[in-house]
Chains A and B, each alone.
Chain A
Amino acid sequence: METLQKPEILDILTSEMVLSEMMKVQLKQMCIYAGIAGIDMDEIRKRLLDEGILPCPDKNSSKKAMAEIYSYVACSF
């Protein structure tokens, strides 16, 4: 399967979560940074799908997914 490109992954993740406008801005910034830093966002999406964290039915579960994505993008070492 091809790795999803930055604009596509943002749209897909947005469609799989229930996000406030602020959360959308935060997710977009994560996707921008991931694209520049060479971080594969599709990898974390697949993991969250496998773990049943995505798709999210409500805002609370979306916050958990967002925290997982943030940790993967901004705090991996």
Chain B
Amino acid sequence: MWRALFDNIYVEKRTLVDAETKRILDRAGCTGPVPIDHYKDVFDRKSPLGKTGRSLILAHNPGRHLYEGAPVCQSFGNEHFYYSPGVMNCIYDCEYCFLKGMYPGGDICIFTDIDETFSELDELEKVHPVYVCASYNTDLTALEDLTGYVEKWCRRALEHRDFSVEIRSKCSRTDIYSKLPVSDRAVFAFTISPDEIAGRFEKKTPGTDGRINALKAASDAGFPIRICFDPMIYVRNWREIYRVMFEKCASAVNPDKIRDISIGTFRISDQYLKKMRKKMPESEIAQYPYVSEAGYYQYPEKVRTSMEGFMREMILEKWPDVSIFDWR
């Protein structure tokens, strides 16, 4: 199955003997990975024009295992907010994703030394509670059959009182949640988009219904749920398509099961947008004439307030008691 997703599987020579690496190779059904010296030898290559395939790289993380969250990311009231770069890049192909400005190509790199991440967390937890976005640079749920990392993060949340984790996804899988260790410190966040946005700008992702079904499966298994109407993407008929999307959510989701909701229109750092415009000259999202504020490109105030306000009003009307966060 994984051979269908990846043209090649590369493994750093120093990781070949690791149990975690062997486990992932075994799950991938790979008996002959290509040994490399450093993950950057492959990962940092720019994708040639027209190349659509991608490679999988298994490596050790030579840098930090946890980073403090960026200002444009929501902390949901958590004071000590970090993200883990344990997997870099995503099997989905969202046109607006900051990963397009962050990484040179589409290859996916899994750092197999996840235990080192947990060791860093052990030290942090001695000082203060820690909240980690574990699926920040990837869609961890979509890769669960390969990595098993969602299970590891959930188990840690169950066993560590001062640790909580958010696993954000667009994946429509419904079969994994009942097998995971449940705790109220493992929050499953689902980015819900209108079908039109998913179809046009979030290539290879499931549509609205698939994501709602996954959300319900996670909720039924006992996990707290976060709904992310973020990023909202401006198109001329945005009002209509976001209304239809929200009505689907409202009719399918029990608000008592929702921990909170995030709202946010698209925004991106100026450096990433410059790279995306160069990479994607025909992209409607990359080429939109954003306004720049404090190093971030975003929609003009009229668009931002209209779209976010519209979404907030719909939520408050149907689900008046649910907490709503926005990124500002």
Chain B residues whose C-beta falls within 8 Å of the C-beta of A26 in the assembled complex: 289
Determine whether A37 belongs to the interface, using a CB cutoff of 8 Å to chain B.
yes
Does A15 sit at the interface, judged by CB under 8 A? no
B327 at the interface (CB under 8 A from A): no
Instruction: How many A-B residue pairs have C-beta atoms within 8 angstroms? Tell me.
Output: 36
Cβ–Cβ contact A29 & B289, under 8 A: yes
B256 within 8 A of A: no
Main secondary structure of the interface of B (DSSP, over half): loop
In the assembled complex, the Cα of A74 lies from the Cα of B302 at a distance in Å of: 10
Q: Helix, strand, loop or mixed for chain A's interface?
A: helix
Residue from B236, B282, B299 in contact with A36 in the complex, judged by beta carbons closer than 8 Å: B282
B288 interfacial contact with A, CB 8 Å: yes
A36-B284 in contact (CB<8A): yes
Interface size on B, residues (CB 8 A): 18
Cβ-neighbour of A77 out of B283, B287, B300, B306 (below 8 A): B306
Q: Is the CB of A74 within 8 A of B287?
A: no
Check if B287 sits within 8 Å of A29, measured CB to CB. Answer: yes
CB proximity of A63 to chain B, nearest CB, Å: 15
- Which residues on the B side are within 8 Å of A10 (C-beta)? none
Distance in angstroms between the alpha carbons of A33 and B281 in the assembled complex: 10
Query: For B250, what are the chain A residues with a Cβ–Cβ distance below 8 Å?
Result: none
Minimum CB–CB distance for B170 against chain A, Å: 24
In chain B between 276 and 293, which residues have their CB closer than 8 angstroms to a CB of chain A? Answer: 281-284, 287-289
Name which residue of chain B comes closest to A69, CB basis: B289
> Cβ of B289: which chain A residues have Cβ within 8 Å of it?
26, 29-30, 33, 70, 73-74
**How far apart are the CA atoms of A32 and B238 in the complex, in Å?**
20
Query: For residues 35 through 76 of chain A, which have their beta carbon under 8 Å from a beta carbon of chain B?
Result: 36-37, 70-71, 73-76
The residue among A73, A74, A77 with the most chain B CB atoms within 10 A of its own CB is: A77
Query: Which one of B281, B283, B288, B306 contacts A74 once the chains associate, using CB atoms below 8 Å?
Result: B288
Which residue in B239, B284, B299 is a CB contact (below 8 Å) of A33? B284
Instruction: Using A29-B289, A33-B287, A70-B289 as known contacts, say yes or no to A77 and B282 having CB atoms under 8 A apart.
Output: no
Nearest chain A CB to B178 CB, angstrom units: 42
The answer to whether A74 and B303 have CB atoms under 8 Å apart is: yes
| A residues in contact (CB < 8 Å) with B | 26, 29-30, 32-33, 36-37, 70-71, 73-77
Q: List chain B positions with a Cβ less than 8 A from chain A.
A: 234-239, 281-284, 287-289, 299-300, 302-303, 306
A–B pairs, 10, beta carbons within 8 Å = A30-B289, A33-B288, A36-B282, A36-B283, A36-B287, A70-B300, A71-B302, A74-B289, A74-B299, A77-B239
Which 8 residue pairs are nearest across A and B when measured between Cβ atoms? Answer: A29-B289, A33-B287, A36-B284, A75-B302, A30-B289, A32-B287, A37-B284, A74-B289
